[in-house]
Every structure is written in structure tokens, then in C-alpha cells.
Amino acid sequence: MYYIYNSKKEETKPKVEPTKPKVVPKPTPKPTGELRLRDYQEEAIERWKKWGRKGVIILPTGAGKTFCALALLKEYLSQGKKCVVIVHTKVLLRQWCERIKQWVGVEPGVLYGERKTPDRITVAIINTFQKYPIKDADLYIWDECHHYCTENCLSIIEELRDKDHLGLTATLERSDGNHKMLLRYMPIVYRMRFREAVGRFISRFEIVEIPCELTPWEWQEYVSAEEEIRYYRLRYSSEEINEDPVLRAKYYSRIHKRKAICSAAKDKVVKLVEILKKVGSERVLVFSESVASIQYIKKVLAENGIKAMCYHSYLKKREREAVLKEWGKSFNVLLTVRCLDEGIDIPAVRYAVILCNSLQKRQVIQRIGRTLRKRSDNTEAKIYLLYCRKTYEERVKLLIRRILAEETYLR
């Protein structure tokens, strides 16, 4: 056996510890806007503090309730405290993150299905927050707080009842009355009605009621749906309907059918075309009941030489953003359903057309509020309410009158 001997010693290099890359902290963004509150916003915050820092602030759409929350976030952050903003959709989460960066000057953490990066200020979607609650924060802001009246949400608020809680909404009342349970933890500390805001912080507006007729075939379909709805109401109590999933699905399918018939009524579409031709090149927001109805209306408008686009939840995020960006440029008529009812920031619009509405007070006020952002030229907003005679929409018309009769003027 032979061994090969290498007389040259291998040069041994001293071991060099790998240098760790320097962690450069993200620069804290500076606020791009100066946060100045109006007198009523400061009053709302002061009342909230006097009520033990637990309560709901109710301001009309466009009156700036979000700025009350941003001012508090800035105050708590300066004191080294943690805050959580709870929202119910991803769109609102992104919107709040942008507002916090712009007005508070920090990059907030987020808490939702895809990302969980809590920070000094965290914006959380309610479904994820229920699974992974942040319990060590000092302030919890519940955006559109009428959504958080379920048993699961209230149990979280109960667990965190020693913390500070701020609820924000334009319309707290719910048709099921569950908002009363929320008031046990967060009483109403400040409320501004339309009457006080119109002309000062939101636009003056006019409601124009336009009656429409159903065709014989539409009327036959409507009566059939109405009879089925009446059958369920006579045979079952509301509790039985809501507790039985199958029964509930059948009942509400008739409700949706009734709405669909009225929202796509031929006479309504004819009158809508007349309104849009009269308005001309102005931006117009049109509310209907379903994606199918606005797609049908878009086709009819195109046949009459009117460019329109649809905005609904089935569109991807970039598609929805592109639609809003082009609104008022390549087209003037935006057709939408409930996707724009609540929370989404849209450009100031002078004209709105409501083709169909529910009997829920909250939805009525939210849709009307879409046109109430004050414009620089102080022009009056105009809302066209198209309703079918001798249908449930007669009650919608009366509901709107009842809501607004003492709040502002009708013509």
C-alpha cells in the first residue's frame, strides 16, 4: 500500500465571519396633508372623551367622520399607544391605509387573510380580526360600526370592553334592531343630521320623483312574486324564516326577483335614457339592483349613443380602479349596484339616478349620500328616484320622504 505525501502545505486562510447585512429601517412617511378639524368634529371628539372614550359618532356621508378617527390615531400614536381600525372589506382596508399614511404619517400594519403584520396602528378586516384578535391595543376604531352587531363581534367588544372604542357611521339603525345591542358598549355620543350639514359641509340637493309603469308581462311576473312573498309571511314568522336556511333562501329569492323586475322595467330604462340625454356631459351615478340589470342597461344605453361602464364586486381591483379613473373622461355614466353603497370614495358627482331601492333606511341614506360631497362651485345635487306604480316601490318613495322631510327640503 502506497501513500502519496504532498510536501507543500496547504495555505490555510483565516476564517472570516460573514458580515450580516445592515437592516435599514423603513423611513417613516411624513404626512402629506395638514390635519385640521372643523368645529363640529372637535366637538364630537370632546364628547367622546367625556363619555369615557366609548361611543359612536354619527355624521352624514361627506361630513368627514373619518377625520375624527385620524385625529385620534395621531394623538394616541404620539403618546406611544397602539390602535386598531376594524373594517369589513379589503377595499376599505386599502383606503384606510392610504388615509393613515397621508394624514397621520405612518405606514400601518394590516391584518387580513393574505397578510398579518400588526404594528403601532393596524388596519384589520373583521373576519380575520375575529380569528386573530389584537388584545393589547389601547384604541379600537370600528368603521361603519352598524356591521358589527352580530353575536361574534359583540363578544369581542365585550372581551375588550375596558379599552377605548370609537364607532363611526352615517346610519346606525338596522332593520333587525340589533344596533341596540351595540349601544350597550358604545352609546351615541354625537349625531349630526342632514338638516345641519346641508349647505355647510355637504351639498344642497333635490329629490325628483318619476313614476314608471310595468308592462303587462312584467306586472304578471311581479304579482306572482308578490303572492309568494305574502304566502311565506302569512305561514311563517320572521324568526322561523331567518332560522331555517332553506326557508330563508326561498323567501329571499322571491324578494330579489321582485326587485329585479322593478329595477329592469322597460319604462324605467326609457326614462333613464331621457334623463341622461338631458344631463348631457355631466357625470352621472346610476344605482340598480343586480349585475345582470346594469349590464342590460349598459347595452340599451349604448344603442342610444350613451357611453356607460359598470362597477361591481365581480370586477378585479385594477378593473374597478380603471373604471373610476376613466369616469368623466371616456364615459360619463357609471352603473353600479351595492358595491358603491358604502365607504368607497368616489369623485364628486352632481347627478344620481336610483332605479331600485330596498326598504332599508340605511341603504336609502347611503345611496343618497353618494351625491352629497360638496363641490367647489356649490352647485345643487339632483337625485332622480324612478319607481314603479302600485308596487312595493311606492313604500320606498314614502320612506325617503319620511327620512328627509325633517332633514332637508324636497321638491
Q: What one-character-per-residue DSSP string does 189-236 give?
A: EEE--HHHHBTTTB--EEEEEEEE---HHHHHHHHHHHHHHHHHHHHS
Three-state DSSP class for residue 290:
coil
Report the share of the chain in percent with pLDDT over 70: 78
Please write the tens of the pLDDT for every residue from 130-165. Answer: 999 999 999 999 999 988 988 899 999 999 999 999
Does pLDDT of 277 surpass 60?
yes
Rounded Cα–Cα distance for residues 267 and 256 (Å):
19
* pLDDT recorded at residue 121: 96
Rounded Cα–Cα distance for residues 7 and 298 (Å):
89
Quote the pTM value.
0.68
Question: Under a CB-based contact definition with an 8 Å cutoff, are residues 174 and 362 in contact?
Answer: yes
Residue 406, amino acid: E
Relative orientation angle of helices 245-263 and 216-235, to the nearest 10 degrees = 150
Alpha carbon 372 to its chain's center: 15
Rounded Cα–Cα distance for residues 300 and 295 (Å):
9
Rounded Cα–Cα distance for residues 2 and 293 (Å):
92
Ranges 219-228, 239-248, 341-350, 364-373, most confident: 219-228
pLDDT level of residue 114 (50, 70, 90 thresholds): confident
For the chain, what's the residue count? 411
Vertex 43 angle, CA 37 and 45, to 5°: 80
Which residues 6+ apart lie within 8 Å of 40 measured at CB? 63, 192
Largest CA distance in the chain: 113
Question: Under a CB-based contact definition with an 8 Å cutoff, are residues 397 and 212 in contact?
Answer: no
Residue 130, amino acid: Q
* 81: its cell numbers: 399607544
Give the CA dihedral 338, 305, 302, 257, nearest 10 degrees.
Answer: 50
Relative orientation angle of helices 39-50 and 65-78, to the nearest 10 degrees = 60
Rounded Cα–Cα distance for residues 21 and 5 (Å):
42
Q: What is the mean pLDDT of residues 116-140?
A: 94
Question: Under a CB-based contact definition with an 8 Å cutoff, are residues 218 and 266 in contact?
Answer: yes
Please write the tens of the pLDDT for every residue from 322-370. Answer: 888 898 889 999 998 865 545 566 666 788 888 866 555 556 666 666 6
